[in-house]
């Protein structure tokens, strides 16, 4: 899992430019699925066919994209003004190193005449790529180019930290699940989605086309275990979280209860999660067509949307165990 996660988090892939991530994932799973293709939006869809005629069609989703900084203007001195792709905090990005798709790197800073750091906004910030003029900068970067955090994954004990854990950690869990499951009574449709960070867009279109019986997404969630953090009953290392609610959905009670039941049967540690802000691909899946019973397995993650998102090895491995346990058994939900 460590090598896979290091590979995935090191790939450039902001919203709308996920092709390199998609190619890497396809290489990892193509020998473990019955069908694999890319749809119009760029979602990677892989199918493990059912061994039973009575099984359910289950959509599993994890998003490939990461947040980024899109260039909006280049001033006469070669400094790049930018806007956000997804949820970018000016405090998280301040004085960070970023990289563009072509390999050009830069440092993010802010206008020093700012009197109150609490009033820092993205429109008071810039990217310095070392250019001395607009003309020199334009030879390296164009308007509309997107930069992402730059830096390799690191580890400390069972903790991994780096950029793009949101949601390459979820992608890694799905990849390992694809490889682990040998047989299932259900038709499993694994979807590695695009443009989640800008509105759950890939999940919205792919779920409409797939028309699943059940939807499960795997994404990161916040924790409440750091000094003076906002109170939240999720701790790093205490197991994957079974989502109850976030801003994009209230999880279907039968799907939530199924996750809890399977975890308890197998002795897999788990936590219950209520996320006050933010959403996941299941927020789009559950509203597809006439509605899809949906839930979420969440990976606890500190410092989400920063350059040093932190996850725990055991949470990742237990997420694979839980997801495998769910998918290898028949699923009975009243009304389906």
What does the pLDDT look like over 266-287, one tens digit per residue?
999 999 999 999 999 999 999 9
Question: Quick one: pLDDT band at residue 173, thresholds 50, 70, 90?
Answer: very high
pLDDT at 51: 74
Asked whether residue 15 is domain-assigned, the answer is yes
User: Are 102 and 208 found together in one domain?
Assistant: no
Residue 336 in domain? no
* C-alpha–C-alpha distance, residues 326 and 255, integer Å: 10
Instruction: In the chain, count H helices and then E strands.
Output: 9, 17
Question: What's the pLDDT score for residue 267?
Answer: 97
CATH number, domain containing residue 86: 2.40.30.40
**Same domain? 55 vs 128:** no
Residues 171 and 277 in one domain: yes
Q: How far apart are the first and last CA of the chain?
A: 35
Tell whether 200 and 284 lie within a shared domain: yes
Residue 336 is predicted with a pLDDT of 66
Closest CA to 57 of 207, 204, 174: 207
Last residue of a domain, one of 149, 183, 211: 149
Express each pLDDT in 225-263 by its tens digit: 999 989 999 999 999 999 999 999 999 999 999 999 999
Same domain? For 271 and 169 the reply is yes
User: Which of residues 20 and 116 earns the better pLDDT score?
Assistant: 20
Residue 333 located in a structural domain: no
* Same structural domain, 217 and 177: yes
Cβ atoms of residues 187 and 47 within 8 Å = yes
The percent of residues above 90 in pLDDT, for the chain, comes to 91
Residue with tokens 């990217």: 127
Q: Are 23 and 128 members of one domain? A: no
Model confidence, pTM: 0.95
DSSP string, 4-35: HHHHHHTS--BTT--HHHHHHHHHHHGGG-SE
Last residue within a domain, chosen from 115, 149, 183 = 149
Same domain flag for 237 and 271: yes
Domain membership flag for residue 155: no
Domain enclosing residue 103, as ranges: 68-149
Closest CA to 129 of 91, 79, 183, 89: 79
CB atoms within 10 A of CB 40: 8
82 contacts 69 by C-beta, under 8 angstroms: yes
In a domain, 157, yes or no: no
pLDDT for the residue numbered 24: 98
Active site residue 197: no
pLDDT at 335: 67
| pLDDT at residue 330, rounded to an integer | 84
Residue 335 lies in a domain: no
pLDDT band at 112 (very low <50, low <70, confident <90, very high): confident
Q: What is the pLDDT of residue 117?
A: 79
pLDDT per position as a tens digit, 90-109 = 999 999 999 999 999 999 99
Residues 92 and 180 in one domain: no
Per-residue b/e over 90-116, b at no fewer than 16 CB within 10 Å? bebbeebebbbbeebebebebeeeeee
Which pLDDT tens digit goes with each residue over 120-156?
899 999 999 999 999 999 999 999 999 999 999 999 9
Position 53 pLDDT exceeds 80: no
Final residue of a domain: which of 119, 149, 179?
A: 149
248 and 107 in one domain?
Answer: no
> Pairing state of beta strands 187-193 and 57-63?
parallel
**Domain total in the chain:** 2
Looking at the domain assignment, is residue 37 inside a domain? Answer: yes
Same domain, 41 and 188: yes
Does residue 36 sit in the same domain as residue 61?
A: yes
**With contact defined as beta carbons under 8 Å apart, do 62 and 111 qualify?**
no
Both tokens assigned to 44: 């990677």
Tens digits of per-residue pLDDT, 66-87? 999 999 999 999 999 999 999 9
Residue 220 buriedness (CB in 10 A; 0-12 / 13-18 / 19+): buried
pLDDT digits (tens, 9 = 90+) for 188-225: 999 999 999 999 999 999 999 999 999 999 999 999 99
Provide CB contacts within 8 A for 112, sequence distance 6+.
Answer: none
Considering 18, 196, 197, 273, which one is annotated as catalytic?
196
On whether the CB atoms of residues 99 and 145 are closer than 8 A, the answer is no
Residue 118: how many other CB atoms lie within 10 Å: 7
253 within domain boundaries: yes
């Amino acid at each position: 899992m460590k090598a896979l996660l290091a590979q995935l988090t090191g790939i450039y892939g902001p919203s709308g430019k996920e092709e390199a991530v998609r190619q890497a994932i396809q290489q990892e799973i193509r020998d473990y699925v019955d069908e694999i293709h890319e749809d119009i939006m760029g979602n990677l869809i892989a199918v493990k066919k059912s061994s039973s005629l009575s099984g359910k069609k289950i959509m599993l989703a994890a998003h490939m994209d990461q947040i980024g900084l899109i260039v909006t203007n280049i001033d006469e001195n070669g400094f790049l003004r930018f806007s956000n792709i997804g949820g970018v905090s000016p405090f998280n990005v301040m004085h960070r190193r970023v990289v563009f798709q072509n390999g050009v790197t830069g440092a993010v800073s802010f206008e020093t005449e700012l009197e109150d750091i609490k009033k820092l906004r993205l429109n008071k910030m810039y990217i310095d790529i070392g250019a001395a003029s607009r003309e020199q900068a334009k030879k390296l970067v164009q308007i509309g180019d997107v930069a992402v955090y730059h830096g390799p994954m690191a580890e400390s004990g069972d903790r991994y930290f780096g950029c793009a854990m949101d949601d390459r950690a979820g992608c890694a869990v799905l990849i390992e699940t694809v490889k682990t499951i040998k047989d299932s009574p259900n038709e499993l449709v694994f979807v590695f989605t695009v443009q989640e960070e800008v509105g759950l867009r890939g999940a919205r279109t792919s779920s409409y086309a797939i028309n699943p019986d059940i939807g499960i997404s795997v994404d990161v969630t916040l924790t409440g275990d750091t000094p003076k953090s906002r109170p939240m009953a999720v701790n790093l290392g205490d197991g994957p979280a079974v989502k109850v609610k976030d801003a994009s959905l209230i999880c279907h009670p039968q799907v939530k209860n199924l996750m809890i039941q399977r975890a308890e049967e197998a002795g897999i540690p788990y936590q219950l999660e209520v996320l006050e802000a933010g959403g996941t691909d299941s927020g789009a899946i559950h509203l597809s067509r006439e509605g899809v019973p949906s839930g979420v397995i969440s990976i606890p993650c500190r410092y989400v949307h920063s350059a040093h998102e932190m996850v725990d090895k055991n949470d990742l491995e237990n997420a694979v165990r839980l997801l495998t346990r769910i998918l290898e058994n028949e699923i009975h939900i009243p009304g389906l």
